[in-house]
Chains A and B, each alone.
Chain A
């Protein structure tokens, strides 16, 4: 579609073409050779469920049940493909659109909604899923991932050869984030420390209304090379290719080979968030172009042609998606308002005289009304 600059799709690792034809790649085909039809159906199921959840959450925002929703529509292959390559002990530092990755870490998707309902700034225990809280400041968490990876090194959990011990850290961020100082510092720190880190950039072409050409004059993956970090561009709508390049990067990290930068070339099919209006800055033709490269359609076509997507499986997944949708609606509407006093909780891990005094004052103030605090 584009012939130059960061929007070029030259050099993308691809194992499934947009029409679902399986193509071979000398380096990456072996990375997916062990994935049988069951595994591929599992990925297809993941993508369908995540999309259904995403659609449901968007509707809930429109109905006033969520303050905001950040759609992952169109990025399912990048997220499920990379997420499925992770080992249990690996640790993920997501941005805020990684619903698919959350799903692969075993986090029930509904738990993401506490944040967007406005009742929690997080919503889950990161150590239960090896999946850190969403970070809203662009790029900040890439440094946390780098530091965490430096800790993994110090724990001796790199290069032991024990597949259950060696650990990689993955951080997800977008094309816009590559302009941030923190992402560049994460590249410097991870490179000089040889940290077991995978920097997974989902280039979805748009940072709200700014296209990638406002962030870079070269393909984003070239950024990594300048820091001495091996880099790869992958078709981000090809779940197999995303799995393969991530598996390679994870193996490099776990074995002591240091960081890798992955640019997954994908498309944000929805708005930036429910507060955004993409019709103001991008064309219907562009959206049509990418709609024909839908990541789920691609895997559907491949599995169907191979005779590996039987109707009963599709029906069962559809029923599962319907149930998830219903559960998402019920869960969201069941979420109450946190107690007023909770805003004073966990400001510090140890008592802080000012916080304690303000809380006591506020409680007295609230209880001074007839009938006491309105909770």
Chain B
């Protein structure tokens, strides 16, 4: 009761507490997914919620992702606010059809008469030594579909607020959780009203996490921590890096990124997903349109390669780590 605020809790606990608060606030909020009940999810993000809210509101579903998303759509049409957990990034594709052809389009095809306030939580990203299909970053496959909001928190504090804003949103939200950060702790105010204007519109806005003057480093989700380390490392060499956390992939907050690039003149985008047709490509194109004459170097991208996610023993060469990002920073600074 009298815990000091803010508390220091893990990323997973920050989402767990956010889910709990959303369920307390609105009896129509319910959770659906595989192993989310008694087990609390394979990452324990839903730990304790089935016990406290019952099996009607925390539903262990059959192992069928299309079924999970499809029935969530039906529940939303009946007035519920389902939050679906997809166990791992690579398991979302059986639900791809329901997400892209049904969930994303219902509001549009009904000319605004029907809302689908469905949240789909997806643990994503690599670096955890997992087997195949457990380390992927499929966020842009969904960002290409109009009608979906695509977000990815990078800190426990943002995750706690963003999950509650996602649940409150009348639009479908894909909520990509950087699974490699689940056990990192951060300060979270679990009592502040996440829906108050003061909390900000986190599903729509990027933010400058660290100010700098020479290069804008753009990241989201798991690579934000990498970007901050890069900035720290570069500072030791006398270089000033500004770090922008996108938070949302759709909509993309071009304004915040462009304002930063107008100050720094250089931009590097980093993400775990493959570079080809990725978030970096979109950011680069829009920055070129918005502030071409401020650019002193081409916008560079650092990310995964155009290969399937590799075996665990090679993933640290595949992922955009500190050295590869620093290399890109050096290259834009050479201009």
Contacts and interface: CB of A to CB of B under 8 A. Distances in A.
A350 B149 CA distance: 10
Contact of B67 (A143, A148, A349): A143
A348 B113 contact: no
A140 B105 CA distance: 13
B109 A147 contact: no
- Top 3 nearest A-B pairs (CB, nearest first) are A147-B74, A143-B70, A151-B78
B64 A147 contact: no
B113 A188 contact: no
B78 A155 contact: yes
Nearest to B111: A346
Interface string B251-273: 11111000000000000000000
Contacts of A120: 111
A145 B73 CA distance: 9
Given A144-B73, A347-B108, A185 B62 contact: yes
Nearest to B110: A122
A147 B118 CA distance: 12
15 contacts: A122-B111, A122-B113, A126-B77, A126-B110, A132-B77, A137-B101, A144-B71, A144-B74, A148-B74, A150-B71, A152-B78, A181-B94, A346-B107, A346-B110, A348-B171
Contacts of B98: 140, 143, 182
Contact of A147 (B71, B113, B254): B71
A149 B71 CA distance: 9
Given A147-B76, A154-B56, 7 more contacts: A120-B111, A122-B109, A148-B74, A155-B78, A188-B64, A347-B107, A355-B251
A146 B71 contact: yes
B209 interface: no
Contacts of A149: 74
B87 interface: no
A192 B69 CA distance: 16
Nearest to B76: A147
B79 interface: yes
A295 to B, nearest CB: 30
Given A143-B67, A143-B73, A346 B62 contact: no
Contact of B115 (A133, A188, A349, A354): A349
A147 B62 contact: no
Contact of A121 (B67, B108, B115): B108
Contacts of A137: 97, 101-102
Interface residues of B, number: 48
B75 interface: yes
B171 A349 contact: yes
Nearest to A346: B112
B204 interface: yes
Contact of A349 (B80, B112, B251, B252): B112
Interface of A is mostly: helix
Contact of A192 (B62, B72, B80): B62
Interface in A145-193: 145-152, 154-155, 181-182, 185-186, 188-189, 192
A125 interface: yes
Nearest to B205: A353
A149 B194 CA distance: 32
Given A126-B110, A185-B64, A349 B71 contact: no
B139 to A, nearest CB: 15
A345 interface: yes
Interface string A292-331: 0000000000000000000000000000000000000000
